[in-house]
Chains A and B, each alone.
Chain A
């Protein structure tokens, strides 16, 4: 079942029409794309190998776009290379790496493209291209990083502050405490559909229905 409802976990065949009008189980309208053989754990768990192989499948997932909502975990290593994304038919400007000059978008595009290693983080470029790359790629949501690799990671608090300064649409004050910037949320082309305590976001890239 390559597609999965992010709410109740129900799986769907590729090309399933059921998804188009929301999950028949729970009414959820966010779906995650998973290739055959990937484990069925929710997105907050340890990321499997790239769930969207570059090329055809990722386009299929994206084509579902606006109607059924494809969740893309924009951070971490489970994204296809940025180069695999565009190229398709009249690919709308709504995709994050469609070349917007907006700093956020550029950052997102970069984050999608390559994963910055944790030890690059603290003294990396002052702005722009690593905020989507919290090093806690393998941590469970809302927990402190495991002790064994803390030395490789910037302090969570630091990370949060950094995220906050770049992404003012949602400020994570503490687990379960958020401040929202409604204007920013409204202005975003894409929108956040899943928050994790380490600052990771899943976003949906809306895509107009073609034809």
Chain B
């Protein structure tokens, strides 16, 4: 079985390079669709690696596959914290293609997007089960944070004892209310930011280093 042996070798090598040295923690960026997860992931990746992670869009379920950016080195107070960030598809309990028709999409495309979005949620939930060491939970602070999805996901994260940082995104919007999020999840620290404008990213990086370093 030369083939098998080769493959096993290459896997061990890949595993070795993946898990060697400081073993960066893998941080999942979770949250409902359209919260700004990819915008945040792109900002973090651009700030520290120069690359982007994936496309952002006002149409929900833009991210339908988890995307990883490995070895993101964040410098805080002269210390380096290395993490892998995983941008995940927005989690929801209902996916309906008719929602996409409003965004000028053909029915076929909308149905396909819907199917992929559903698969993406399955993938995101699976990653949460065993593949992340910490979670950045992104919420759009201009919307009601007290939803079934948020409560359930945060509950799961708590039950796994994963470190979690709640980000109140889109504070540049008029309807934004960070306090509403603090009230909904008082057991966790909530950091306000605008991933789009880059507001308050310093505090976000401080907290990332503190929680996941």
Contact = CB atoms under 8 A, between A and B. Distances in A.
Interface of A: 7, 14-15, 17, 20-22, 27-29, 56, 59-60, 63-64, 67, 142, 169-170, 175-183, 185-188, 191-195, 206, 209-211
9 contacts: A63-B7, A142-B111, A175-B111, A178-B94, A182-B93, A185-B125, A186-B126, A191-B126, A206-B130
Contacts, number: 115
Interface in B62-83: 65-68
B121 A185 contact: yes
A20 B14 contact: yes
Nearest to B125: A185
A20 B129 CA distance: 20
A70 to B, nearest CB: 12
What is the predominant secondary structure among interface residues of chain A facing chain B?
A: mixed
A206 B114 CA distance: 24
A101 to B, nearest CB: 20
A14 B7 CA distance: 8
Contacts of B112: 176
A185 B202 CA distance: 35
B114 A182 contact: no
Given A15-B6, A20-B14, A178-B94, A192 B119 contact: yes
Interface of B: 1, 3-4, 6-8, 10-15, 54, 65-68, 91-98, 110-112, 114-115, 118-119, 121-123, 125-126, 128-130, 149, 152-153, 156
B14 A192 contact: no
Contacts of A185: 121-122, 125-126
A195 B118 contact: yes
A181 B156 CA distance: 13
B65 A28 contact: yes
A194 B119 contact: yes
Contacts of B91: 182
B11 A20 contact: yes
A211 B111 contact: no
